[in-house]
Amino acid sequence: SEPPCWAVAAAAFQLWALVVVFFIVLPAMFGVSLGVSGVYIQILVRILQVRPPGQDLPLQPPSDLHLPDVLCLAGIIEHSGGSMEEELEQLRLSRRPEAGEFTLSDVIYFCQKGLESIVEDQVTQRFSSEELASWNLLTRTNQNFQYISLRLTVFWVLGVLVRYGVLLPLRVALAVIGLWWLVMGTSVVGFLPESSVKNWLSELVHLTCYRICARGLSATIHYHDKSASSLPGPVCAGPCPQVGQIHGGLMGVIQRSMLRSCPHIWFERSEMKDRHAVTSRLRAHVCDKNKLPILIFPEGTCVNNTSVLMFKKGSFEIGGTIHPVAIKYDPRFGDAFWNSSKYNMVSYLLRMMSSWAIVVNVWYLPPMTIQEGEDAAHFASRVKSAIARRGGLLDLAWDGGLKRGKVKDCFREEQQKMYSSIVVQNGSQPPGAIRAPHEDE
């Protein structure tokens, strides 16, 4: 007689579990690569070659086209690029008012600039998913499906079945295994007294968890210029203490478990607003030579992989040596941007696990220290510019906190002063010179 269905299902599950454990989990625990991820990425690249009929756009920007140029091409507003004085002068040509005379035509200029800022400004567009350079079969399926041809529709449907029917269950299982290992391992290590053995076990637990979770996301990480850093190993792959805000839910459970075995620095929301308290705790950590280097994300927010926003200067006031790291994701395979105001941690992880893969490049830059006579704000800006250049990112001076906060009064007052100086022909303010804001303003 034929075996019942439940027996067949149980046998299939056991086979699947053995494959997961012996071909994914165990190699990840020991840092061994079987080359499966590389073959998988090559297959995805071949799939990228399938294009809709009549589509001649490149799959990625040409090598001689810089990222700022690509962003301008993708924009919907054509910016003149002139200063306030030059553009107002064009509007005033017909009347040629005397110095100090206001003309109603000036209102047109400010209305135009206001509408441009509402439709397309430099800040809010950094907090939405990065647009692909052109269409391809790996385009994200969280967008509404559009029929192009029968052949591409079949490919698209098969892709959805593979991603949600095969990859998603596998990745969820690996994520559960990795997080279970992290929570249990750090809890056990946390009971041990401070010693070199505890530090070694903490590093082993963290690395094992990170490797399993990375395999669960089909993450392919390319490290570049590791010799440029004087640190003993890859910072982003090691169990370095991190700085961040305390969260609730699943993220809170992970944070509390990590804190048991490694001296991470987590802040309450109210503490994050106290810049001096944050700086004091960071300085105390850096001054302790027995602690590992601390991993800091100085933007203080998630950006959509196209730009680098203003660095918080508090991280650069504590002294010590900065080891800059540039991180750039390949948007063709998946969207790694987390819009925390729109998706919670669980929703974001499900979106990541249902993507094709997470391909990321990590560049290590030479160590940097503050120069004589340089303040923390300029030091932070110099580090930010170096990271932006190496990662091919757009270097912006705006504070990422503007995505949730209102524009400060000092910004409006500065524009008003510039306009008044133009009207009265004062000339004390350089025409069109908009000073980049700093965190303490």
The pLDDT tens digits for 265-281 are 887 766 666 667 777 88
Residue 432: pLDDT band with limits 50, 70, 90: very low
**Of residues 334, 320, 309, 321, the one with CA closest to residue 396:** 309
Residue 385: pLDDT band with limits 50, 70, 90: very high
More confident residue, 88 or 222: 222
Average pLDDT across the chain, whole number? 75
Write the CA distances from 356 to 35, 56, 353, integer angstroms: 17, 24, 8
Tell me the percentage of the chain whose pLDDT exceeds 90: 5
pLDDT at 254 over 70: yes
- Paired strand residues for 358: 219
Overall pTM surpassing 0.75 (yes/no): no
How does DSSP assign 141-205, residue by residue?
TTSPP----HHHHHHHHHHHHHIIIIIHHHHHHHHHHHHHHHHHHHHHHHTSPSSHHHHHHHHHH
Residue 383: pLDDT band with limits 50, 70, 90: very high
pLDDT at 6 over 60: yes
CA distance 362 to 150: 39
More confident residue, 313 or 143: 313
pLDDT at 204 over 80: yes
pLDDT at 353 over 50: yes
pLDDT at 382 over 90: yes
Q: 261 by DSSP, 3-state: which?
A: coil
Give the residue carrying structure tokens 């008003």.
416
First to last CA, the chain: 79
Tell me the percentage of the chain whose pLDDT exceeds 70: 72
pLDDT for position 363: 92
Residue 56: pLDDT band with limits 50, 70, 90: very low
Write the CA distances from 186 to 123, 193, 213, 230, 254, integer angstroms: 39, 13, 16, 28, 10
Question: Residues 400-426: what's their mean pLDDT?
Answer: 72
Angle at 393 between CA 224 and CA 401, to 5 degrees: 120
Question: Residues 121-125: what's their mean pLDDT?
Answer: 73
pLDDT at 59 over 60: no
